[in-house]
Homo-oligomer: A and B are copies of this chain.
Amino acid sequence: MKTTRYIIIVGCGRLGSNLANIFSKRGDSVVIIDKNDETFNKLSPDFSGFRINGDVTQMAVLNNAKLEQADVFIATTHDDNVNLMAAQVAKKIFKVSHVLARVFDPKREQVYTRLGVDTICPTTVATEIFVQSVLKNNNNTKDTNE
């Protein structure tokens, strides 16, 4: 038994294109949406999904992507407002069961959580990793007896 998913990704920047390539390679059905069609150049030559050139803040674009059939919806643009709006529409109107969004401003994470949207804030994650790396490396630093 193999699980295939219908995954819609908004934004074909580094993150969106990485995800599209990975899920497409895994055999999932992937649709990627970006308003700038040059970004589709980042997709791997063997990407087997669909590209939609359009603005996700327009309902016609979301209808065209068949959101009502999606298992997973991922908003990865660099604009927190666009991600929030798209995630909200995917969750509330199209009832997509698993909605994820990148969020740059950690203060907005609460809003997403209330909506049932999984978020990742790259700054928060990067901060944690840097702090852990510095603390782990403690032994190499100067000790001060206090």
Q: Which residues of A contact B (CB under 8 A)?
A: 1-7, 14-15, 18-19, 22-23, 71-72, 74, 97-98, 100, 102, 104, 118, 120, 122-127, 129-131, 133-134, 137-138, 140-146
Contact = CB atoms under 8 A, between A and B. Distances in A.
5 contacts: A1-B144, A1-B145, A3-B144, A71-B140, A100-B130
B72 A126 contact: no
A66 B120 CA distance: 36
Copies in the complex: 2
A18 B123 contact: yes
B1 A143 contact: yes
A146 B2 contact: yes
